[in-house]
């Protein structure tokens, strides 16, 4: 199913049956690309964002060692049924949010990401959840050139990753190439199914009657002030790509789309410190990847001090209250 880095022939790892090449590994992760983790320089080709510099700051501190959540297990069951518990490529798999529960549902998962750090977190997550040996194949790879043979997988999962790569057409072509005829491309979105209350328009304040208004106002003000300071220092946010509709582009490429809704309701609550501040402190938002570490630390510390002066030292304890109101998969069939 893999393509040998030396001879290009299709072969299972770790030894190429054609030329004898041994697939390299680092800490249990197959090394299938020499591309850097991050490319924000258009002169070097398509821009993309990997999360090596972010690591565990992208998640809460207990993520890698905790059990899979009920919502993720339900999504995994829907994915496993869709591909007949066959072979799934989880492209941009991050720390195993979906790869681990899908493997627990009986699929074999090729877990691919450009970030070695995220793949290391995935292995910890798999161990904590007692995934059977061989059920997950962790691979450091580049989605712009997927090192798999044509028509080799039953399904591809792209969960909140297409906006991190500038050349969507190339990635879509690669995903379609590796899918078997009749195979499924599946998309999820950020926090699938989480009800966030009335969402204000971009740049607008939350409605006066929004129960999470205090949280949203503080989050928006902190984010705005952080970038205001960085802009004064000559730093601009850098995106790989945000101005596209991933569902429309995938539907156009595949000629079809099926919406799979999974009924599920459960409350969700968190504080500003547990979610937004934790992630932003660790540069866990994609547009922060272009910010030098020293300037990020200075800007974050300055805004924090200003907010303590204005709102008090406990400003991070303001709480968001929402909940799941169903889970969603968007499925495209080859």
CATH at residue 11: 3.40.50.150
Amino acid 102: pLDDT? 98
**Is there a single domain that holds both residue 50 and residue 156?**
yes
Give the side-chain half-sphere CA count within 13 A for 185.
27
β pairing state of 108-113 and 87-91 = parallel
**Which is nearest to 320 in space by CA: 283, 268, 279?**
268
pLDDT score recorded for residue 54: 81
- Torsion sign, CA atoms 216, 61, 191, 326: negative
Q: Tell me the residue range of the domain where 307 lies.
A: 198-238+269-321
- If asked whether residues 54 and 145 sit together in one domain, one would say yes
Distance between CA atoms of residues 305 and 294, nearest Å: 17
- Residue among 243, 197, 232 at smallest CA distance from 217: 197
Is 164:190 a contact under the CB 8 Å cutoff?
no
Q: What pLDDT, on the 0 to 100 scale, is given for residue 17?
A: 92
Q: What is the pTM of this model?
A: 0.92
Q: Which two tokens stand for residue 262?
A: 């999974």
Packing angle of the helix pair 246-254, 168-178 (nearest 10 deg): 50
Both 205 and 247 in one domain: the answer is: no
Whether residue 25 sits in one domain with residue 157: yes
Q: Which pLDDT does position 75 carry in this prediction?
A: 95
Distance CA 25, CA 118 (A): 15
Q: What is the pLDDT of residue 201?
A: 46
Total tally of structural domains belonging to the chain: 2
Residue 199 is predicted with a pLDDT of 45
Whether residues 286 and 311 fall in one domain:
yes
Do 145 and 184 sit in the same domain of this protein? yes
3-state secondary structure at position 202: coil
Give me the residues paired with residue 269 across strands. 321
pLDDT per residue of the chain (334 residues) written in tens, 0 to 9: 899 988 989 998 999 999 999 999 999 999 999 999 999 988 999 999 999 988 778 887 789 999 999 999 999 999 999 999 999 999 999 999 999 999 999 999 999 999 999 999 999 999 999 999 999 999 999 999 999 999 999 999 999 899 899 999 999 999 999 999 999 999 987 555 666 544 444 456 666 677 888 999 999 999 999 999 999 999 988 777 777 788 999 999 999 999 999 998 888 899 999 999 999 999 988 889 889 999 999 999 999 999 999 999 999 999 998 888 889 999 999 9
Q: Answer for the pair 86, 155: CB distance below 8 angstroms, yes or no.
A: yes
The pLDDT score that the predictor gives to residue 35 is: 95
Cβ contacts of 190-196, under 8 Å, gap ≥ 24: 190/160, 192/71, 192/75, 192/327, 192/328, 193/71, 193/262, 193/264, 193/324, 193/325, 193/326, 193/327, 193/328, 194/268, 194/322, 194/323, 194/324, 194/325, 195/322, 195/323, 195/324, 195/325, 196/322
pLDDT at res. 88: 98
Q: Is the domain of 134 the same as that of 227?
A: no
Q: Are residues 151 and 173 in the same domain?
A: yes
**One domain, residues 12 and 122:** yes
Answer yes or no: do 187 and 298 share one domain: no
CA 234, CA 258: separation in Å to the nearest integer?
45
163 shares its domain with 49: yes
Q: Report cis status (omega within 30 of 0) of the bond before 14.
A: yes
Based on the fold, state whether residues 233 and 244 are members of the same structural domain: no
């Amino acid at each position: 199913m893999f393509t040998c880095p030396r001879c290009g022939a299709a072969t299972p790892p770790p030894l190429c049956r054609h030329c004898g090449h041994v697939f390299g590994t680092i800490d249990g992760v197959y090394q299938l690309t020499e591309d850097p983790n991050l490319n924000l320089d258009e002169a070097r080709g398509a821009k993309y964002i990997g999360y090596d510099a972010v690591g565990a700051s992208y998640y809460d501190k207990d993520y890698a060692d905790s059990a899979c959540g009920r919502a993720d297990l339900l999504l995994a069951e829907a994915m496993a049924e869709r591909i007949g518990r066959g072979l799934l490529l989880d492209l941009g798999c991050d720390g195993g949010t979906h790869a681990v529960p899908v493997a627990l549902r009986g699929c074999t998962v090729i877990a691919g990401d450009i970030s070695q750090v995220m793949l290391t977190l995935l292995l910890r997550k798999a161990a904590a959840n007692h995934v059977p040996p061989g059920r997950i194949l962790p691979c450091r790879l580049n989605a712009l050139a997927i090192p798999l043979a044509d028509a080799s997988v039953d399904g591809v999962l792209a969960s909140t990753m297409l906006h991190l790569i500038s050349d969507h057409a190339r990635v879509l072509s690669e995903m379609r190439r590796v899918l078997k005829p009749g195979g499924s491309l599946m998309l999820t979105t950020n926090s699938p199914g989480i009800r966030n209350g009335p969402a204000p328009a971009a740049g607008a304040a939350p409605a006066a009657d929004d129960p999470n208004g205090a949280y949203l106002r503080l989050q928006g003000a902190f984010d705005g002030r952080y970038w205001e300071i960085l802009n004064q220092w000559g730093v601009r946010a850098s995106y790989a790509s945000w101005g596209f509709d991933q569902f429309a582009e995938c539907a156009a490429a595949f000629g079809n789309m099926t919406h799979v809704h999974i009924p599920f309701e459960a409350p969700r609550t968190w504080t500003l410190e547990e979610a937004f501040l934790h992630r932003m402190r660790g540069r866990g938002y994609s547009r922060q990847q272009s910010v030098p570490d020293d300037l990020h630390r200075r800007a974050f510390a300055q805004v924090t001090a200003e907010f303590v002066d204005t709102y008090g030292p406990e400003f991070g304890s303001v709480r968001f209250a929402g909940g799941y109101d169903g889970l969603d998969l968007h499925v495209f069939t080859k």
